């Protein structure tokens, strides 16, 4: 059935998943107006504030998002916060479909004693700090102790470890924020312990990123040989096609020198395994971390951890937990507190009673949890867009009431509220000034980290921006 009339869809969240949903909807054989709503004045979410500053190639995907935004049926509304400036009931009234694509904005706690001590922080905070996220720009981290501990075995843990390990000269040409570069220049950290509860065969690192640790100019990676010895179940996991990546990782770990190898560089990255944090010790601030030594039991891909009874203590002044991101509840939207996600079926939001909520959808990490890479969100976005298109077809056949006037009334109502909205032209002004400021020091950009400063720049004329550069 061919649908007629323009449909209106609101997407809450300006990150990759939101853009991929928009792309799929705008490519459909029907007229759809897509309004993207983002709480910050700038788009791109995880690409801007999550991807490591020294991994610029991963950020090239924003060129594709820029192309999507050029569509005449796409509008961007930055600095508009759902739950603060607007209510979900307003969106559901004004649009045929509303997509929640807010990502995973929080982190999972370790749940151990001492986690609240000064110097115990989340990867969310640390990554946001060096990437210039407005929420974390004013954070301060004590880098005066020679030891830092990172708990986690995923790529975010690798990113944090690499930023702490690299010299200022290695970071200077990235888009790391100036305040972070200044702090890292004064860092006295010499030994970084990257610790995982499971074994090397279960680590979730990407092999390409892991290999980088063998090429750092001021830091060397070392391992504890006994922790690289695998049980039969782990060997079976590596032999399975699903274990190909882990097998490559193990080869990289075994290429690193042993921990008793004479020190060759200023800094050392200690890859440690089968150590579960039991408590963080210190009086007012972190002084050390106590770990329980573990072993793996059970069959391949279903192994469980068992404590051996042995414990080790690693002195540290900074502890960064990187054991997973977690979604944050959006007012008025069903939320699964256990999973940290919005309950859904094929992207259609479900109430906690299991009943589908009409016209409400979800995509990205808030939908499926923090898994996959940036590109993984494309399939997820297409899946949600397919559900929307199917439901719009049903709406059209049932004598749908056109929401165009409702959308216009909603947008007009924003003008009377104390909100300064930022459209894509405003973002381009921010983008231009960041690139101009970065070029003066050989960087891709120098991010503006204050929301108010972004808002001020978004209103300026292009000629003034050029003069400021």
* The model's pTM: 0.92
| Residue 137: pLDDT over 90 | yes
Asked whether residue 195 is assigned to any structural domain, the reply reads yes
Q: What is the CATH number of the domain that holds 344?
A: 3.40.50.720
Asked whether residue 413 is assigned to any structural domain, the reply reads yes
DSSP 380-405: HHHHHHHHHHHHHHHHHHTTPPP-HH
* Cα 427 from Cα 78, distance rounded (Å): 8
Asked whether residue 31 is assigned to any structural domain, the reply reads yes
Report how many domains make up the chain.
Answer: 3
Query: What is the mean pLDDT of the segment spanning 295-306?
Result: 96
Asked whether residue 300 is assigned to any structural domain, the reply reads yes
Asked whether residue 343 is assigned to any structural domain, the reply reads yes
Asked whether residue 1 is assigned to any structural domain, the reply reads no
Spacing of C-alpha 77 from chain mean position: 21
436, 376: one domain: no
313, 362: one domain: no
pLDDT of residue 375: 83
277, 356: one domain: no
151, 289: one domain: yes
216, 352: one domain: no
| Residue 228: pLDDT over 50 | yes
124, 183: one domain: yes
pLDDT of residue 2: 47
Looking at 324, 352, 387, which one is the last position of a domain?
324
139, 90: one domain: no
Asked whether residue 2 is assigned to any structural domain, the reply reads no
* Cα 434 from Cα 463, distance rounded (Å): 15
Q: Residue 450 belongs to what domain range?
A: 424-469
277, 147: one domain: yes
Looking at 294, 324, 354, which one is the last position of a domain?
324
**Mean pLDDT, rounded, of the chain:** 93
**The tokens of 408 are what?**
């216009």
pLDDT of residue 468: 39
189, 304: one domain: yes
Asked whether residue 72 is assigned to any structural domain, the reply reads yes
295, 267: one domain: yes
Looking at 324, 346, 375, which one is the last position of a domain?
324
Percentage above 90 pLDDT, the chain: 88
pLDDT of residue 460: 74
53-69 as b/e: b if 16+ CB within 10 A: bbeeeebebbeebbebb
| Residue 281: pLDDT over 70 | yes
DSSP 411-430: HHHHTTSS---B-HHHHHHH
| Residue 54: pLDDT over 70 | yes
pLDDT of residue 5: 67
pLDDT of residue 466: 39
**Interval 325-351: pLDDT, tens:** 889 999 899 999 999 999 999 999 999
115, 39: one domain: no
Residues in Cβ contact with 7 at an 8 Å cutoff, skipping those fewer than 6 apart: 30, 31, 32, 33, 96, 97, 392, 395, 403
337, 311: one domain: no
* Cα 39 from Cα 34, distance rounded (Å): 16
């Amino acid at each position: 059935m061919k649908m007629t009339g323009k449909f209106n869809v609101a997407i809450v969240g300006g990150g990759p998943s939101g853009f991929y949903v928009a792309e799929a909807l705008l490519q459909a054989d029907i007229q759809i107006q897509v309004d993207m709503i983002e709480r910050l004045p700038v788009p791109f979410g995880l690409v801007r504030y999550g991807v490591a500053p020294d991994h610029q190639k991963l950020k090239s995907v924003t060129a594709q998002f820029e192309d999507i935004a050029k569509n005449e049926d796409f509008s961007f509304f930055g600095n508009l916060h759902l739950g603060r400036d607007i209510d979900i009931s307003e969106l559901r009234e004004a649009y045929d479909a509303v997509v929640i694509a807010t990502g995973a904005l929080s982190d999972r706690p370790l749940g151990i004693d001492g986690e609240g001590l000064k110097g115990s922080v989340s990867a969310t905070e640390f990554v946001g700090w060096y990437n210039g996220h407005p929420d974390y720009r004013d954070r301060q981290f004590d880098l005066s102790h020679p030891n830092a501990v990172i708990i986690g075995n995923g790529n975010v843990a690798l990113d944090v470890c690499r930023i702490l390990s690299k010299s200022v000269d290695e970071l200077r040409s990235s888009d790391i924020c100036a305040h972070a570069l200044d702090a890292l220049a004064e860092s006295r950290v010499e030994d970084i312990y990257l610790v995982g509860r499971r074994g090397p065969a279960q680590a979730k690192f990407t092999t390409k990123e892991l290999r980088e640790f063998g090429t750092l100019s001021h830091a060397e990676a070392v391992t504890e040989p006994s922790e690289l010895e695998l049980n039969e179940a782990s060997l079976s996991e590596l032999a399975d096609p699903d274990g190909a990546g882990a097998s490559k990782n193990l080869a990289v770990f075994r290429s690193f020198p042993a921990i008793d190898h004479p020190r060759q560089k200023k800094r050392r990255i200690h890859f440690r395994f089968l150590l579960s944090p039991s408590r963080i010790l210190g009086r007012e601030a972190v002084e050390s971390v106590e770990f329980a030594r573990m072993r793996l039991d059970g069959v391949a891909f279903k192994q469980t951890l068992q404590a051996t009874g042995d414990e080790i203590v690693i002195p540290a002044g900074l502890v960064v937990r990187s054991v997973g991101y977690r979604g944050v509840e959006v007012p008025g939207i069903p939320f699964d507190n256990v999973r940290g996600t919005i309950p859904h079926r094929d992207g259609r939001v479900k109430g906690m009673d299991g009943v589908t909520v009409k016209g409400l959808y979800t995509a990205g990490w808030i939908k499926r949890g923090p898994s996959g890479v940036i590109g993984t969100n494309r399939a997820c976005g297409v899946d949600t867009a397919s559900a929307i298109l199917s439901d719009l077809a049903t709406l059209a056949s049932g004598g749908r009431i056109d929401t165009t006037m409702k959308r216009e009334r909603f947008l007009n109502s924003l003008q009377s509220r104390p909100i300064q909205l930022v459209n894509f032209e405003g973002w381009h002004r921010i983008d231009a000034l960041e690139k101009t400021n970065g070029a003066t020091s050989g960087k891709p950009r120098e991010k503006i980290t204050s929301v108010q400063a972004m808002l001020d720049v978004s209103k300026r004329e292009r000629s003034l921006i050029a003069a400021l550069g």
